[in-house]
Amino acid sequence: MTTSQHPERPRPAAGDPLHGEAERSGVTQPPHAGHVVRARPEPGFEISVDGRPATAVPGQTLGAVLYANGIRSWRTTRIGGRPRGLFCGIGVCFDCLVTVNGEASLRACQTEALPGDEVTTG
Ligand code: FES
Protein backbone atom coordinates (compact mmCIF):
# COMPACT_ATOMS: atom_id res chain seq x y z
CA MET A 1 0.00 0.00 0.00
CA THR A 2 1.35 3.42 -0.86
CA THR A 3 0.89 6.67 0.99
CA SER A 4 -1.55 7.93 -1.64
CA GLN A 5 -3.93 5.05 -0.82
CA HIS A 6 -4.39 6.18 2.77
CA PRO A 7 -7.26 8.49 3.63
CA GLU A 8 -6.29 12.00 4.61
CA ARG A 9 -5.87 12.34 8.34
CA PRO A 10 -8.48 14.49 10.07
CA ARG A 11 -7.59 18.04 10.99
CA PRO A 12 -8.98 20.05 13.90
CA ALA A 13 -12.00 22.02 12.80
CA ALA A 14 -13.04 25.51 13.79
CA GLY A 15 -14.86 25.13 17.08
CA ASP A 16 -12.62 22.23 18.17
CA PRO A 17 -11.12 23.32 21.50
CA LEU A 18 -7.65 22.55 20.14
CA HIS A 19 -8.15 24.39 16.84
CA GLY A 20 -5.40 26.96 16.43
CA GLU A 21 -3.42 25.73 19.42
CA ALA A 22 -0.29 25.19 17.30
CA GLU A 23 -0.45 28.71 15.95
CA ARG A 24 -0.92 30.18 19.42
CA SER A 25 1.93 28.18 20.94
CA GLY A 26 4.35 28.81 18.08
CA VAL A 27 5.21 25.10 17.97
CA THR A 28 5.31 23.51 14.53
CA GLN A 29 3.08 20.44 14.46
CA PRO A 30 1.81 18.11 11.76
CA PRO A 31 -1.53 19.18 10.28
CA HIS A 32 -3.56 16.54 12.11
CA ALA A 33 -2.05 17.27 15.53
CA GLY A 34 -4.54 18.31 18.14
CA HIS A 35 -7.34 16.24 16.66
CA VAL A 36 -9.09 14.58 19.56
CA VAL A 37 -9.53 10.89 18.92
CA ARG A 38 -11.65 8.40 20.82
CA ALA A 39 -11.82 4.66 20.33
CA ARG A 40 -15.23 3.60 19.10
CA PRO A 41 -16.85 0.17 19.57
CA GLU A 42 -16.85 -0.62 15.86
CA PRO A 43 -15.21 -3.47 13.96
CA GLY A 44 -11.46 -3.35 14.17
CA PHE A 45 -8.93 -3.21 11.39
CA GLU A 46 -5.30 -4.02 10.82
CA ILE A 47 -2.22 -1.85 10.50
CA SER A 48 1.39 -2.91 10.23
CA VAL A 49 4.09 -2.08 12.73
CA ASP A 50 7.60 -2.68 11.44
CA GLY A 51 6.10 -5.13 8.96
CA ARG A 52 4.09 -7.09 11.53
CA PRO A 53 0.28 -6.96 11.76
CA ALA A 54 -1.35 -5.13 14.66
CA THR A 55 -5.06 -4.78 15.39
CA ALA A 56 -6.73 -1.42 15.98
CA VAL A 57 -10.22 -0.07 16.59
CA PRO A 58 -11.60 3.09 14.99
CA GLY A 59 -10.59 6.23 16.84
CA GLN A 60 -7.68 4.61 18.65
CA THR A 61 -4.35 6.42 18.66
CA LEU A 62 -1.29 4.68 17.29
CA GLY A 63 0.19 4.78 20.80
CA ALA A 64 -2.82 2.91 22.14
CA VAL A 65 -2.58 0.40 19.29
CA LEU A 66 1.09 -0.24 20.01
CA TYR A 67 0.42 -0.64 23.72
CA ALA A 68 -2.61 -2.90 23.17
CA ASN A 69 -0.51 -5.09 20.90
CA GLY A 70 2.15 -5.55 23.57
CA ILE A 71 4.65 -3.01 22.26
CA ARG A 72 5.76 -0.93 25.25
CA SER A 73 8.85 0.80 23.86
CA TRP A 74 9.90 1.50 20.28
CA ARG A 75 12.67 4.06 20.49
CA THR A 76 15.85 4.48 22.49
CA THR A 77 17.67 7.52 23.77
CA ARG A 78 20.76 8.65 21.89
CA ILE A 79 22.80 8.54 25.06
CA GLY A 80 22.54 5.32 26.99
CA GLY A 81 20.10 3.57 24.66
CA ARG A 82 17.30 3.73 27.22
CA PRO A 83 13.85 2.60 26.02
CA ARG A 84 11.21 5.15 25.05
CA GLY A 85 7.53 4.82 24.14
CA LEU A 86 4.46 6.37 25.68
CA PHE A 87 5.44 8.66 28.55
CA CYS A 88 3.10 11.61 28.92
CA GLY A 89 0.44 10.30 26.53
CA ILE A 90 -0.79 13.85 25.90
CA GLY A 91 1.53 15.15 23.19
CA VAL A 92 4.05 17.01 25.34
CA CYS A 93 7.18 14.86 25.70
CA PHE A 94 7.73 13.63 22.11
CA ASP A 95 9.02 10.29 23.44
CA CYS A 96 6.53 8.38 21.26
CA LEU A 97 7.65 9.44 17.78
CA VAL A 98 6.92 7.06 14.90
CA THR A 99 6.95 7.17 11.12
CA VAL A 100 3.56 6.58 9.49
CA ASN A 101 3.26 5.87 5.77
CA GLY A 102 6.61 7.57 5.25
CA GLU A 103 5.75 10.67 7.30
CA ALA A 104 8.40 10.91 10.02
CA SER A 105 8.25 12.22 13.57
CA LEU A 106 4.57 11.85 14.32
CA ARG A 107 3.56 11.55 17.96
CA ALA A 108 1.92 8.14 18.36
CA CYS A 109 -0.15 9.40 21.28
CA GLN A 110 -1.72 12.12 19.13
CA THR A 111 -2.10 10.32 15.81
CA GLU A 112 -5.21 8.34 14.99
CA ALA A 113 -4.67 4.86 13.56
CA LEU A 114 -6.23 4.47 10.13
CA PRO A 115 -6.82 1.23 8.21
CA GLY A 116 -3.72 0.09 6.38
CA ASP A 117 -1.32 2.43 8.17
CA GLU A 118 2.29 1.34 7.87
CA VAL A 119 4.09 2.32 11.05
CA THR A 120 7.84 2.12 11.44
CA THR A 121 9.64 2.65 14.71
CA GLY A 122 13.21 2.94 15.86
S1 FES B 1 3.79 10.16 24.88
FE2 FES B 1 4.48 12.18 25.22
S3 FES B 1 4.20 13.14 23.27
FE4 FES B 1 3.41 11.13 22.99
Q: How far does residue 12's CA lie from ligand 1's centre (Å)?
A: 18
pLDDT at 114 over 50: yes
Least confident of 21-35, 38-52, 84-98: 21-35
* Substitution candidate for ligand 1 out of 73, 84, 107 with most atoms within 8 A of CB: 107
In this prediction, residues 12-26 reach a mean pLDDT of: 50
**In this predicted model, what pLDDT tens digit does every residue of 69-110 receive, in sequence order?**
999 999 999 999 999 999 999 999 999 999 999 999 999 999
User: Are the C-beta atoms of residues 33 and 22 closer than 8 Å to each other?
Assistant: yes
Domains of the chain: 40-120 (3.10.20.440)
Any atom of ligand 1 within 6 Å of the Cβ of 109: yes
Integer CA distances (angstroms), 108 to 14, 15, 24, 48, 122, in order: 23, 24, 22, 14, 13
Any atom of ligand 1 within 6 Å of the Cβ of 47: no
pLDDT at 45 over 80: yes
In this prediction, residues 41-64 reach a mean pLDDT of: 95
* Substitution candidate for ligand 1 out of 32, 66, 71, 92 with most atoms within 8 A of CB: 92
pLDDT of residue 6: 56
